[in-house]
Amino acid sequence: MQQRLTIPGLGENIEHAQVVRVLVEVGQDLAADQSVMELEAGKATVEVPAESAGTVVQILVSEGDEVDVGQAFLVLEASEGTPAATAPAAPAAPEPKPTPVAPVPAPDPSPEPPPKPPASKQPVRHVPAAPSVRRFAREIGIDVDTVEGTGSHGRVSLDDVKHHARELSQRRSEGLRVETPQLPDFSQWGTVRREPMSGIRRATAEHLAVSWTNVPRVTHFDSADITTLDSLRRKFADRAAAQGGKLTMAVMVVKTVAEALKKFPKFNASIDVAKREIVLKDYIHIGIAVATERGLMVPVLRDAGGKNMVQLAAEIDAVARRCREGNITLADLEGGTFTVTNLGAIGGSYFTPIVNYPEVAILGLGRAKRQPVVDENGEIVVRTILPLSLSYDHRLIDGAEAARFVRWVAEAIEEPLLLSLEGVS
């Protein structure tokens, strides 16, 4: 029996991907769960496995093609005795009908009206579905009992789950979509060239549009005297290098920010507009912006508040290398609670970074420069000054709170002992 393999769900709000590499050939025998294709989706490379064993009959896509979730990409002749992934199983028992609720009698004009009989509880809806289908639904974040099954007796198949996921994603996208004005014909003024956007650039554009549309942001500027901290960085750089990392100023700021988030938990939160709630997170996962030839990526450092600077230096070096080599995964890019972006190695001073939705704040680092400063004694001295730019979601964070947060970070940078004195365990 032939079956058509389709692009599986790739993550929340990811509807499209680009084929990076096809790993099989026509006539090749496959084992169940064997990787058959690599996709670039949401800035990460994802391997797509075969749903069952069989022989490749036809390959429907080529490297560089853009594909949609649910699109067929390969035709497989299933091995003898191997059922197709979407074949309906034995009929399940019919779903029980809800018990009707007894009618409520009209109020009696007497002083003591008769009590209303209690309403019967509606039975919980459990759709018939194979264990593999339920597992797949859990993995992509779908409640299988909300899916309409097209099989016998309403049985839910893999295709039903994928169709349901596509509809949810489309509804979310339509709710955020803003009509784009039509471009003029640029060729009337001269020669033009067109080239397709890469998967990473397209994902960046879509995510930044969501962030810009949903987050009313304000940017607060400040600076920190890093003269002492930079001296300590140079002194202990060899210790970090011995463990595979480079002790940069960005690493030291990430550690400082992680401690600040313990003291200012609102900056580590998100806003649930639908439920009118603030989601306060008890974990601190800091995203760091990494520029690559393929575009901007923001890998996430897990439990940044529980790691020392040497550990963070090694982890940042490793994750940045994976980004530049194209070996980053979707899991590496998800779950951030706060972002740090550093333009200091390139140049510039203050700028206005865009908040990385659904986070509520992002800290930008400019290039540190040596400049004259008037000290507390009225003397002019040369110090190294680091520009700091904090963009924040003004729906949750007020200007005074932003100023206190940045000032705490700046003072902790200027006086490293402050982390031990006022840091929160």
Instruction: For 254-284, write each residue's pLDDT tens digit.
Output: 999 999 999 999 999 999 988 889 999 999 9
| Backbone φ and ψ of 51, nearest 5° | -75, -20
Specify the pLDDT at position 41.
Answer: 79
Decide if pLDDT at 173 tops 60: no
Q: If pLDDT is split at 50, 70 and 90, which confidence band does 350 have?
A: very high
The number of beta carbons lying within 10 Å of the beta carbon of residue 193 is 4
Better-predicted residue by pLDDT, 41 or 229: 229
How high is the pLDDT of residue 92? Answer: 42
Which of 126, 220, 285, 394 is flagged as catalytic?
394
DSSP reduced 3-state for 269: strand
Is the pLDDT at 306 greater than 80? The verdict is yes
Report CA-CA distances (Å) from 207 to 8, 10, 43, 69.
21, 16, 11, 18
Query: What pLDDT band is residue 400 in, cutting at 50, 70 and 90?
Result: very high
Interval 114-136 mean pLDDT: 64
d(CA 188, CA 170): 36
**pLDDT surpasses 50 at 199:** yes
Out of 120-124, 190-194, 418-422, pick the least confident.
Answer: 120-124
Q: Are 309 and 255 in contact (CB under 8 A)?
A: yes
- Give me the mean pLDDT over the 238-262 stretch: 89
Q: Give the burial class of 392: count Cβ atoms within 10 A of its Cβ; 0-12 exposed, 13-18 middle, 19 or more buried.
A: buried
pLDDT computed for residue 89 by the predictor: 39
Told to judge if 394 belongs to the known catalytic residues of this protein, a careful annotator would answer: yes
Instruction: Please give the mean pLDDT across all residues of the chain.
Output: 83
Higher pLDDT among residues 111 and 312, named by residue = 312
pLDDT the model gives residue 165: 85
Can you read off the two tokens belonging to residue 398? 């007020």
Mean pLDDT over residues 308-326, rounded? 90
Closest of 348, 359, 339 to residue 297, by C-alpha: 339
pLDDT classification of 406: cutoffs 50, 70, 90 = very high
Lowest mean per-residue pLDDT among 128-137, 141-150, 327-336: 128-137
Going from the N-terminus, what domains does the chain have, and what CATH number goes with each? 2-83+128-174 (2.40.50.100), 217-422 (3.30.559.10)
* In contact, 161 and 137? CB cutoff 8 Å: yes
The pLDDT value recorded for residue 12 is 66
Determine the average pLDDT of the residues in 372-391.
Answer: 92
Counting residues of the chain whose pLDDT is more than 90, the rounded percentage is: 36
Please compute the mean of the pLDDT values over residues 104-127 and round it to a whole number: 51
194-218 mean pLDDT: 85
pLDDT of residue 177: 55
The predicted-structure confidence for 25-45, as pLDDT tens digits, reads as follows 999 988 888 888 888 876 777
- Mention every residue, 6+ apart, whose C-beta is less than 8 A from residue 36: 5, 22, 23, 24, 30, 48, 49, 50, 56, 74
pTM for this structure?
Answer: 0.63
Give me the pLDDT at residue 77, please.
87
Please report the pLDDT score of residue 316 as a whole number: 92
Give me the helices (H) in 215-357, please: 227-242, 249-263, 309-325
pLDDT-based confidence at residue 81 (cuts at 50, 70, 90): low
d(CA 293, CA 366): 21
Report long-range pairs for 58-61 (Cβ below 8 Å, ≥24 apart). Answer: 58/26, 59/22, 59/24, 59/25, 59/26, 60/4, 61/19, 61/22, 61/37
Q: Is the pLDDT of residue 193 over 90?
A: yes
Neighbouring CB atoms inside 10 A of 414's CB total: 17
> Is residue 244 pLDDT above 80, yes or no?
no
Question: What confidence score (pLDDT) does residue 279 get?
Answer: 95
In whole angstroms, what is the distance from residue 422 CA to residue 425 CA?
9
Nearest to 72 by CA among 6, 151, 153: 6
Contact 261, 278 (CB under 8 A): no
Token pair 């972006």 in the structure block, residue: 341
- What is the pLDDT at residue 175? 56
Which candidate, 41, 57, 46, places its Cα nearest to that of 5? Answer: 57
Residue 119 has pLDDT above 80, yes or no: no
Rounded distance, CA 316 to CA 319, Å? Answer: 5
Between the CA of residue 238 and those of 53, 233, 256, 312, 323, what are the distances in Å? 52, 9, 20, 15, 25
What is the Cβ-side half-sphere exposure of residue 385, based on CA atoms within 13 angstroms? 15
Calculate mean pLDDT across residues 202-228.
89
DSSP sequence for 160-224: HHHHHHHHHHHHHHHHH--PPPPPP-GGGGS-----PPPHHHHHHHHHHHHHHHH--EEEEEEEE
Cβ(39)–Cβ(14) below 8 Å: no
Q: Strand runs (DSSP E) across 234-379, as ranges?
A: 269-272, 277-280, 286-288, 290-292, 295-297, 300-301, 338-342, 361-365, 369-374
Give the best-scoring range by mean pLDDT among 84-88, 124-128, 262-266.
262-266
